[in-house]
Structure 1
Amino acid sequence: MVAPVIGRASDRFGRRRTLMVCMAGNIVWTVLWIYSSSFETFLVARVIAGLCEGNVQISNTVIADVTDVNTRSSGMALVGIAFAVGFTLGPSIGAYFSTKTSNEATVSAYAPFAMAAMFSLALLLIESAYLYVKLPETLHFKKSPASQQPSKQAKGDSPRVRQVLQRLNMVHFAYLFFFSGMEYTLTFLTHDKFNFTNMQQGRLLGFIGITSTILQGGYVRRVKGRSGSQGDKALVTQGMVGCTLGLLSIAICCFNAKDDGPSWWLWAGAVGFAVASATVVNCLNSMVSLAGDSPGESRAGGTDTGRRLGDFRSAGQIGRALGPVFACSVYWLAGATVCYIVGAVAVAAITLTFVTGIPAKAHSGTHKTE
Structure 2
Amino acid sequence: MEPHEDAKDEKKANKVLKTLFVSLVIDLLGFTVILPLFPSLLEFYKTNDKGSLYSTMEATVSAFRKTIGVPETEDVNSVLFGGLIGSLFSFLQFLNSPVFGAISDVYGRKPMIIISLTGSVISYLVWMMSDSFLLFLVARIIAGISEANVSISTAAIADLPSAKLRSRGMAAVGIAFSIGFVVGPLIGVLFSKYFSNHGMFFVGPAAFGVVITVVDIFYVLKCLPETLHPSKRAKSVISSFPEFLHLLNPFALFKFSAVKSVTNTKKSSTLKSLGLVYFLYLFLFSGLEFTLTFLAHKRFGFTRMDQGKMFALLGFTMAVVQGGYVRRKMLGRERKLAASGIVFLIAGFILVGFSWSPTVLYAGLLLFAIAAATVIPCLSSLTASHGLVSEKGRVMGILRSLGALARAIGPMLASASYWLLGAKITYIGGGVLLLVPLKLLLSIKPELESSDSEAKTK
TM-score band (shorter)? Answer: 0.7 to 0.9
User: What is the SS of the residue equivalent to 1:71?
Assistant: helix
The 8 Å contact of residues 6 and 310 in structure 1, kept in 2 or not, is answered as: yes
Distance 1:65 1:250, change over 3 A: same
1:236 aligns with 2:325: no
Deviation of 1:76 (Å): 1.3
Q: Does 1:46 align with 2:140?
A: yes
Once the 2 structures are TM-superposed, how far is the Cα of residue 347 of structure 1 from its aligned partner?
Answer: 1.1
Q: What secondary structure, in the 3-state scheme, does the structure 1 residue paired with 2:194 have?
A: coil
Deviation at 1:351, TM superposition (A): 0.8
Instruction: State the 1:357 CA deviation.
Output: 4.1
What TM-score results when the alignment is normalised by the length of structure 1?
0.85
2:395 to 291, 301, 308: 308
Q: Which amino acid aligns with 2:430?
A: G
Number of residue-to-residue matches in the alignment: 330
Change (3 A) 1:359 1:284: same
Name 1:148's counterpart in structure 2: none
Q: Equivalent residue for 1:33? A: 127
Write out per-residue CA displacement over residues 149-188 of structure 1, whole angstroms, 9 at most, x where no aligned residue. Answer: xxxxx97225221221111111111111110110111111
Give the superposition deviation at 1:100: 3.1
1:324 paired to 2:411: yes
Correspondence list, 1:139-178, <5 A: 139-140=228-229, 156-158=261-263, 159-178=265-284
What is the letter of the counterpart of residue 330 of structure 1? Answer: S
- Is the contact between residue 168 and residue 358 of structure 1 (CA under 8 Å) also seen in structure 2? no
Structure 1 residues 37 and 216, CA gap change in structure 2 (3 angstroms): same
Equivalent AA in structure 2 for residue 80 of structure 1? G
Q: Are 1:178 and 1:347, in contact at CA under 8 Å, matched by a contact in 2?
A: yes
Deviation at 1:85, TM superposition (A): 0.7
RMSD: 2.0
Q: CA separation in 1, counterparts of 2:96 and 2:273?
A: 20
Counterpart of 1:123 in structure 2 is 212
Report the counterpart of residue 422 of structure 2 in structure 1. 335
Give the C-alpha shift of residue 203 in structure 1.
Answer: 1.4
Counterparts in 2 of 1:44 and 1:213: CA distance versus 1, 3 Å:
same
| Structure 1: unaligned runs, 5 residues or longer | 143-153, 293-300, 366-370
Match of 1:351 among 422, 429, 438: 438
Shift of 1:12: 0.5
Displacement of 1:70: 3.1
- Give the deviation of 1:71 after TM superposition: 2.8
* Cα shift at 1:360: 5.7
| Contact 1:101-1:114 within 8 A present in 2 as well | yes
Task: Find the aligned partners of 1:189 and 1:360 in 2 and give their Cα distance.
Answer: 42
Partner of 1:132: 221
Q: Which amino acid aligns with 1:249?
A: L
> How far apart in 2 are the matches of 1:53 and 1:113?
20
3-state SS of paired residue (2:448): coil
CA deviation after TM superposition for structure 1 residue 353, in Å: 1.9
Give me the whole-angstrom Cα distance separating, in 2, the residues matched to 1:101 and 1:93: 11
> Aligned in 2, Cα 1:364/1:86: closer, same or farther, shift over 3 Å?
closer
* 1:2 counterpart residue number: 96
Query: Aligned residue for 2:176?
Result: 82
Give per-residue Cα distances to partners, 1:297-356, cap 9 Å, x unaligned. xxxx71210000011110111001110001111111111111101111111222122112
Amino acid at match of 1:289: A
Structure 2 vs 1, CA of residues 353 and 103 (structure 1 numbering), >3 Å: closer, same or farther?
A: closer
The 3-state SS of whatever aligns with 2:176 is helix
Query: Residue 261 of structure 2 aligns to which amino acid in structure 1?
Result: G
Match of 1:252 among 343, 348, 354: 354
Counterpart AA for 1:176: L
In structure 2, the CA distance between the partners of 1:311 and 1:155, relative to structure 1 (3 Å rule), is closer
Q: 1:103 to 1:37 in 2, by over 3 A?
A: closer
How far apart, in 2, do the equivalents of 1:266 and 1:308 lie? 37
Structure 1 residue identity aligned to 2:383: V
Q: Is the 8 A contact 2:100 2:112 kept in 1?
A: yes
Q: Does the CA contact (< 8 Å) of 1:233 and 1:360 recur in 2?
A: no
1:359 shift after superposition: 4.0
- Deviation of 1:90 after TM superposition, in Å, equals 1.2
Q: 1:364: Cα distance to partner?
A: 7.3
Aligned 8 A contact 2:197 2:203 in 1: no
Q: Unmatched 5+ residue regions in structure 2?
A: 1-94, 232-258, 454-458
Give 1:67 shift.
4.0
Alpha-carbon displacement from aligned partner over 1:97-118 (angstroms, at most 9, x marks no partner): 22234354xx5xxx55121111
- 1:297 alignment partner in structure 2: none
Higher helix share: 2
Task: Describe the shift of the 1:285–1:141 C-alpha distance in structure 2 as closer, same or farther (beyond 3 A).
Answer: farther
Per-residue Cα deviation, 1:24-54 (whole angstroms, up to 9, x for no partner) = 1000111000001111111111111111111
Please report how far the alpha carbon of residue 263 of structure 1 lies from its aligned counterpart in structure 2 after TM superposition: 3.9
Contact 1:232 1:360 in 2 (8 A): no
Matching residue's letter, 1:9: I
Contact conserved, 2:322 with 2:373, CA < 8 A, in 1? yes
The offset of 1:195, in angstroms, is 0.7
Contact 1:65 1:141 in 2 (8 A): no
Shift in Å, 1:190: 0.8
2:115 maps to 21
Local SS of the residue matching 1:138: coil
Task: Provide the C-alpha distance between the structure 2 equivalents of 1:217 and 1:307, rounded to a whole number of angstroms.
Answer: 27
The corresponding residue for 1:151 is none
1:66 Cα deviation after fit: 2.5
Residue aligned with 1:66, SS: coil
Whether the aligned pair in 2 keeps the contact of 1:66 and 1:141 (CA below 8 Å) is no
